[in-house]
């Protein structure tokens, strides 16, 4: 791709997201989301492959549907309330906006597009889709949190956690596993959105750190399936150890960074007298933890055949910079003591 075109697309991605951050007019927010969507589609198909074209088409149709529903919610709200401000919404329009934004980010039961789209694009574009593309819809949700229906958010959150756990059990493609992991993490964020939005923001930040770390490692090792991780311990022992720690952090095991957001969410739900909801969410986490541990087993305990005949990767000079991986890995494993400080900063 031409570097100038690539620069324009990246700047458009940033512009669309920043518009949703700083604006409160429904029409301008819709324009920002559309700019965001239109900018990432050429990045999906810059490698001319039928699977990438199919993924881009599915993504475009899904996002177009969500954008039309979101525009309808804004127009109906302006018709009933008399203004386009985001802070003045009626119950019907806020419910329609909730469904539209849930479709945009891939919450269950509107999640079917996310694994299929992520499977058909490159790892680098998948990194953008699972991290940066979540910021703009969540910026709108965080501004609307006090007007959203808590029961609807709880249903969407519980269904996403269950679907994310069940869907990832029988997958062998790493991108699909990360897609279902994304669905499960989004369910945790949405379930607490109405009661404590700053905790949702904290969970979103930590999710982006963990997912970015995992995608960067897959890009460095060029791994797309589980069986490609088997010889990693013998060829790249340090990288496999880092991947093992990241997977355990994604599963929410202490003393890693991913533990504290889940603990704080369960604590807040208990304070809101939602003990049953918190119990179901804690039990559903075991489903996600199972396929994380399966990946850990493949990375650390599986011995690949023909080791003596394969070239030793550690003897070849590295061709990629590990600076970004070092930063994300440090935050993935060692940010647990700083979580209360981060929660205070988000208030």
In a domain, 88, yes or no: no
**Higher pLDDT among residues 309 and 23, named by residue:** 23
Task: Answer whether 0.85 is exceeded by the pTM.
Answer: yes
- Asked if residue 9 belongs to a domain, the reply is no
Q: Which 3 state secondary structure label does DSSP give 225?
A: strand
Instruction: Tell me how many domains the chain contains.
Output: 1
- The pLDDT tens digits for 259-294 are 988 999 999 999 999 999 999 999 999 999 999 999
- Give the number of residues written for the chain: 347
- pLDDT greater than 90 at residue 170: no
Residue 78 lies in a domain: no
Give yes or no for a contact between 320 and 220, defined as CB atoms under 8 angstroms apart.
yes
**Is 191 among the domain residues?**
yes
Query: What pLDDT is attached to residue 90?
Result: 85
- Nearest 5°: the CA angle 232, 218, 329 is 90
* Both tokens assigned to 113: 């597009």
pLDDT in tens, 209-262: 999 999 999 998 888 888 888 888 778 888 888 889 999 999 988 888 899 889
What distance in Å separates the CA atoms of residue 180 and residue 202, rounded to the nearest whole number? 20
Within a domain: residue 102? no
In a domain, 193, yes or no: yes
Identify whether the C-beta of residue 217 lies closer than 8 Å to the C-beta of residue 123: no
Q: Give pLDDT, residue 303.
A: 64
CB distance 200 to 192 below 8 Å: yes
Could you tell me the pLDDT band of residue 314, with boundaries at 50, 70 and 90?
very low
DSSP per-residue letters across 243-269: HHHHHHHHTT-TTSTTHHHHHHHHHHH
Which residue do the tokens 């804004």 mark? 74
Share of the chain above pLDDT 70, in %: 95
In this prediction, residues 140-152 reach a mean pLDDT of 91
The answer as to whether 157 is a domain residue is yes
Inside any domain, residue 192: yes
Expressed as residue numbers, the domain containing 186 is 149-305+320-347
Task: Round the average pLDDT of the chain to a whole number and report it.
Answer: 88
Of residues 316 and 167, more confidence is placed in 167
Distance between CA atoms of 167 and 177, rounded to whole angstroms? 8
Mean pLDDT computed over 32-52: 90
């Amino acid at each position: 791709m031409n570097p100038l075109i690539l620069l324009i697309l990246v700047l458009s991605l940033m512009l669309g997201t920043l518009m949703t951050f700083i604006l409160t007019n429904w029409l301008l927010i819709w324009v920002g989301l559309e700019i965001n969507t239109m900018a990432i589609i050429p990045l999906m198909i810059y490698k001319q492959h039928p699977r990438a074209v199919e993924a881009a088409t599915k993504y475009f149709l899904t996002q177009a549907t969500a954008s039309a529903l979101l525009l309808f919610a804004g127009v109906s709200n302006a018709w009933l309330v008399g203004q386009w401000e985001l802070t003045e919404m009626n119950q019907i329009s806020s419910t329609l906006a909730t469904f539209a934004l849930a479709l945009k980010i891939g919450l269950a039961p509107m999640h079917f597009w996310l694994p299929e789209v992520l499977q058909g694009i490159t790892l680098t574009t998948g990194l953008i889709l699972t991290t940066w593309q979540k910021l703009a819809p969540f910026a709108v949700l965080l501004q609307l949190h006090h007007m959203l229906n808590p029961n609807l958010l709880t249903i969407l959150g519980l269904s996403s956690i269950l679907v994310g756990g069940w869907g990832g059990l029988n997958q062998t493609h790493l991108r699909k596993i990360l897609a279902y992991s994304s669905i499960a993490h989004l369910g945790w964020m949405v379930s607490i959105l109405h009661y404590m939005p700053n905790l949702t923001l904290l969970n979103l930040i930590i999710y982006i750190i963990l997912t970015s770390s995992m995608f960067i490692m897959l890009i460095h090792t060029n791994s797309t399936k589980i069986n490609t991780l088997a010889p990693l311990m013998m060829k790249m022992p340090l990288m496999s150890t880092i991947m093992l720690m990241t997977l355990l952090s994604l599963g929410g095991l202490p003393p890693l960074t991913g533990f504290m957001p889940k603990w704080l969410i369960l604590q807040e739900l208990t304070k809101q007298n939602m003990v049953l909801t918190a119990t179901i969410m804690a039990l559903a986490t075991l489903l996600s933890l199972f396929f994380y541990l399966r990946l850990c087993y493949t990375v650390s305990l599986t011995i690949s055949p023909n080791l003596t005949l394969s070239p030793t990767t550690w003897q070849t000079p590295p061709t990629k910079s590990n600076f970004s991986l070092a930063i994300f890995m440090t935050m993935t494993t060692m940010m647990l003591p700083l979580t209360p400080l981060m929660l205070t900063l988000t208030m």
